[in-house]
Amino acid sequence: MRPLSNKYLACCNVVAAFLLALPLGCTAQSLVDVGAERGILDYHMAPPMGAGLAAADIDNDLDIDLFVPNAEDTADQLYLNDGSGTFSNTASAAGLNTQQRARAALWFDMDGDRDLDLVKAGDCFGEWGLGTGDVVCRPGRAMLRLYRQESNGVFVNVTTGSGLEQDSGILENAHHRGGLAAGDLDQDGDLDLYSAFWRGPSRLYFNDGTGHFTDVTVAAGVHRPGTAQWQPVILDVDGDGRQDIFVAVDFTANFLFMNQGNGQFEDHAAAAGVNQDWNDMGVAVGDADNDGDFDLYVTQVHGANPEERNLLLRNDSVPGTPLFVEHSQTAGVADTSWGWGATFADMDLDGDLDLLATNGFDSVEGAQYPTDPSRAFRNDGDGTYTDVSAAWGFNDTLWGSGLIAFDFDRDGRLDLLQATKVHPNPGPLRLLRNTATPAANFLRVVPRSMGPNSQAIGARVSVRIGSQWQHRLITAGLSFLSQEPAEAHFGLAGATRVDELRVVWPDHQETVQRAIPANRSVLVWDDQTMVADFE
């Protein structure tokens, strides 16, 4: 394990001084593509349905790095952040520059050594002429590939013997890779893995804590052969202390696998009101109404059927009874055309979560969607949203795929990374810097655990200002085949401090701190002894 760097602490104080010197009330909001000037190279998205992005602090220096999967015959990219928001592609030196068509990837600490490991996932969807009746994948193409990070930052392929080996011969060119998600599903302290496939073999793996996995798909009750699963997300839906699994499913009903606490899961999608059988694709997770539980936003193909629309699922669950209420139409977020990736993010730092979604499809089947604009919806704080796509500069007409939000330059404003499919490949990856004149304050909370779940995946982070609470969930896997970093970002509006910070850890223990000044980052450990950067 490499220690946390001190460079970040000094940087935070500079950012804090800068932001505190700015006047409140400025509202100009603009997203500007700075990818090329920040070191982001062209990439080659796997055809034809898109791919994802994975962001995390992989070298423990408290800035956010990136992994970008690429198509066949193009090396995957690993971007290390220098702390100022400039990136260098270090995939070759790190041993991650394979050319095997990766479509999704996920960072997680598989063995509890506090170094993030990586799982990559591919497929052979749409490939023809492969030599065996035009249906069987090339050897190794569609496997999960597991890479353990060594203490020197080099990654070693440890797939063989890990339990994640997957026989590519059972996969066909009609099987498209879905997303990945990690969480402690068996309550043993380490991270388990859900691997989704569109019309292929979706699987649930339990981790023994050393990075060895057991396929429990059938035994756990989540075996649904032939279903077109896109993005899974792992969260405690009903507040009973157990991690559940929601899966967006194309064509047939979604799944809501509720954790029974004994290694078993039951699908409660119908009773919970989330069993729509439309074209569910991407999933955003967040407390959209600041009521203390986590809501879902699910993208669709709008217009294919008069009743089909994106889903804004308000979580009204109580322990033992999962329940969601769909209200996308009244909220004003029902239509994002042919939707893919989406994310909740407080882009204007006013204390509630805004919503961003990307989209597009330029095949004959999607003829009306080749120029549909991406969407940005500002949360108005009353259950409704205003379309501010043009005003915020997020109205491109590209075919978007993965979409994630994170503060890449540590200036206190959330930025976006958007994967887009271009013709011909390769093309640009869009790193969209939030250049809004800061109108409000922020707090960034980075929870870390001394246990095997070192990034505290599944933790709930909350802040209180007066009587008003905000809540964030630390996740691994969301949007569309993508991942956001394991940290919580809060907009504080005009408040200059947080009255209370509360972290509920995955083991249900709590950490509480009070009177934290705004415009800085806080590193919180679950052993109650380390809380950094309060000064």
Contacts (Cβ under 8 Å, ≥6 apart) of 477? 106, 179, 180, 181, 182, 194, 231, 232, 233, 234, 483
Mean pLDDT of 505-514: 95
Residue 59 has pLDDT above 60, yes or no: yes
Contacts (Cβ under 8 Å, ≥6 apart) of 204? 185, 192, 193, 194, 195, 215, 216, 217, 220, 222, 245
The CA distances from residue 353 to 281, 346, 380, 460, 491, in Å, are 21, 4, 9, 16, 9
Contacts (Cβ under 8 Å, ≥6 apart) of 48? 125, 126, 363, 421
- CA dist 405 and 284 (Å) reads 11
Mean pLDDT of 67-89: 95
Which is higher by pLDDT, 529 or 400? 400
User: What are the helix and strand counts (H, E) for the chain?
Assistant: 5, 36
The CA distances from residue 260 to 187, 385, 500, in Å, are 11, 36, 33
Check residue 171 and give its pLDDT: 62
- The pTM assigned to this predicted structure is 0.92
Mean pLDDT of 56-76: 94
User: In the structure, what pLDDT confidence band is assigned to residue 468 with cuts at 50, 70 and 90?
Assistant: very high
Residue 43 near residue 72 (C-beta atoms within 8 A): no
Residue 168 has pLDDT above 70, yes or no: no
User: In the structure, what pLDDT confidence band is assigned to residue 360 with cuts at 50, 70 and 90?
Assistant: confident
Residue 5 has pLDDT above 80, yes or no: no
Identify which of 124, 215, 119 has the alpha carbon closest to the alpha carbon of residue 173.
Answer: 124
Residue 121 has pLDDT above 70, yes or no: yes
User: In the structure, what pLDDT confidence band is assigned to residue 135 with cuts at 50, 70 and 90?
Assistant: low
Residue 22 has pLDDT above 50, yes or no: no
Task: Classify 62 in phi/psi space as left (phi over 0), alpha (psi -120 to 50) or beta.
Answer: left
Residue 47 has pLDDT above 90, yes or no: no
The three-class DSSP label of residue 416 is: strand
> Amino acid letter at 405?
A
Q: Which part of the chain has CATH 2.60.40?
A: 442-532
Q: Which part of the chain has CATH 2.130.10.10?
A: 31-434
Listed range (161-170, 201-210, 395-404, 498-507) with the worst mean pLDDT: 161-170
Residue 79 has pLDDT above 60, yes or no: yes
CA angle 390/394/397 to nearest 5° reads 95
Check residue 438 and give its pLDDT: 65
Check residue 123 and give its pLDDT: 84
- Structure tokens that stand for 307 in this block: 């009743």
DSSP structure string for 431-453: EEEE-PPP-SEEEEEEEE-SSSS
Residue 332 has pLDDT above 70, yes or no: yes
Beta bridge partners of 198: 176, 228
- CA dist 495 and 215 (Å) reads 48
Sheet (strand 31-33) strand order: 31-33, 430-434, 415-421, 399-406
Contacts (Cβ under 8 Å, ≥6 apart) of 179? 52, 104, 196, 230, 231, 232, 477, 478, 480, 481, 482
Mean pLDDT of 329-350: 94
According to DSSP, residue 486 is labeled S
- Of all residues in the chain, the percent with pLDDT exceeding 70 is 85
Check residue 26 and give its pLDDT: 40
Mean pLDDT of 423-436: 84
Q: Name the fold adopted by 442-532.
A: Immunoglobulin-like (2.60.40)
Check residue 301 and give its pLDDT: 87
- Of all residues in the chain, the percent with pLDDT exceeding 90 is 73
Residue 19 has pLDDT above 50, yes or no: no
Residue 119 has pLDDT above 70, yes or no: yes
- CA dist 178 and 187 (Å) reads 25
User: In the structure, what pLDDT confidence band is assigned to residue 100 with cuts at 50, 70 and 90?
Assistant: confident
Mean pLDDT of 279-302: 96
Check residue 45 and give its pLDDT: 87
Which is higher by pLDDT, 272 or 27? 272
Residue 2 has pLDDT above 60, yes or no: no
Residue 80 near residue 48 (C-beta atoms within 8 A): no
Check residue 11 and give its pLDDT: 40
Which is higher by pLDDT, 294 or 439? 294
Check residue 71 and give its pLDDT: 87
Q: Name the fold adopted by 31-434.
A: Methylamine Dehydrogenase; Chain H (2.130.10)
